[in-house]
């Protein structure tokens, strides 16, 4: 990652990371122009001197503006972009908004930590089933079950329209098969994945894979 002068919003991320896709999809959806700087996590790209100057915590994604401000954490970046754009990806009703926040925190705590982590171990670190912590499958299936329970009743995670909660949760749910999860057990989730991919204009992950 060469040091560069930036003239508009710049998103630093690794394309294989669902967390990094979230702010990218959000910016695309909102029509916000940005530059993308690829940072290869597996090759140590988040630990170089140049990258640590952008985010001393050494994590992607990070957003950076021409005036030097930077912001880390996928869900925080999405929230800021959508809020600045006045987008209805954030519900206007305060309790709906609170429910969306609840799902965003749940995603990072109870979903990503099982589904993204298992995918990383299986698909990128090429670990065998025996080498992967067995709790990850159980925890991931519980998370998918929670989503199925919601999506049986509503088309979107928080009620009648797409919000940031759908973008956050689709990032790794659409790639769950790479972590050994079988989405056909969760038919409402499977339909919602296609619905959300279509709304965001991104390819269906299984076909793209």
DSSP state of 131: G
Structure tokens at 155: 């088309």
Q: Any idea what the Cα angle at residue 72 is, between residues 90 and 33, rounded to 5°?
A: 65
First-residue to last-residue Cα distance in the chain: 27
- Is 131 among the residues that bind a copy of itself (CB under 8 A)? no
Quote the least distance from Cβ 122 to a copy of itself, whole Å. 19
C-beta of 59 vs 194, nearer to a copy of itself: 59
30 in contact with a copy of itself (CB under 8 A): no
The least CB distance from residue 42 to a copy of itself, in Å, is 18
Which residues are paired to 12 by β-bridges? Answer: 37, 62
CA distance 194 to 196: 6
Stretch of 32-40, 46-54, 74-82, 192-200 lying at the interface with a copy of itself (CB under 8 A): 74-82
Figure out which of the listed residues 30, 32, 101, 199 binds a copy of itself, where binding follows CB under 8 A.
101
Asked whether position 86 contacts a copy of itself by CB under 8 A, the answer is: no
Q: Which residues 6+ apart lie within 8 Å of 35 measured at CB?
A: 6, 8, 9, 10, 11
Helix (H) or strand (E) holding 103, with range, is helix 94-106
Q: Verify binding: residue 83, a copy of itself, rule CB under 8 A.
A: yes
Please, which residue, 36 or 80, has the CB nearer to a copy of itself? 80
Binding residues vs a copy of itself (CB under 8 A):
56-57, 59, 69, 71-77, 79-80, 83-84, 94-95, 98-99, 101-102, 104-106, 108-110, 112-113, 146, 149
């Amino acid at each position: 990652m060469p040091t560069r002068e930036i003239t508009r919003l710049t998103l630093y991320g690794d394309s294989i990371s669902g967390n990094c896709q979230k702010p990218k999809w959000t910016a695309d959806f909102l029509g916000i122009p940005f530059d993308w700087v690829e940072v290869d996590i597996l090759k140590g790209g988040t630990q170089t001197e140049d990258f640590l100057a952008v985010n001393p915590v050494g994590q992607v994604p990070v957003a950076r503006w021409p005036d030097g401000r930077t912001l880390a954490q996928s869900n925080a970046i999405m929230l800021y972009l959508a809020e600045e754009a006045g987008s209805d990806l954030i519900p206007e009703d305060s309790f709906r908004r609170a429910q969306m926040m609840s799902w965003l925190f749940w995603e990072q705590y109870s979903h990503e930590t099982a589904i993204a982590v298992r995918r990383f171990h299986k698909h990128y670190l090429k670990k065998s089933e025996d080498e992967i912590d067995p709790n990850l499958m159980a925890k991931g299936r519980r998370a998918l079950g929670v989503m199925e329970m919601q999506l049986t009743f509503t088309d979107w995670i928080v009620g009648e329209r797409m919000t940031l909660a759908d973008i956050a949760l689709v990032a790794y749910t659409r790639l769950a098969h790479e972590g050994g999860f079988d989405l056909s057990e969760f038919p409402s989730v499977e339909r919602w994945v296609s619905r959300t991919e279509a709304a965001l204009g991104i390819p269906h992950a299984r076909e793209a894979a």
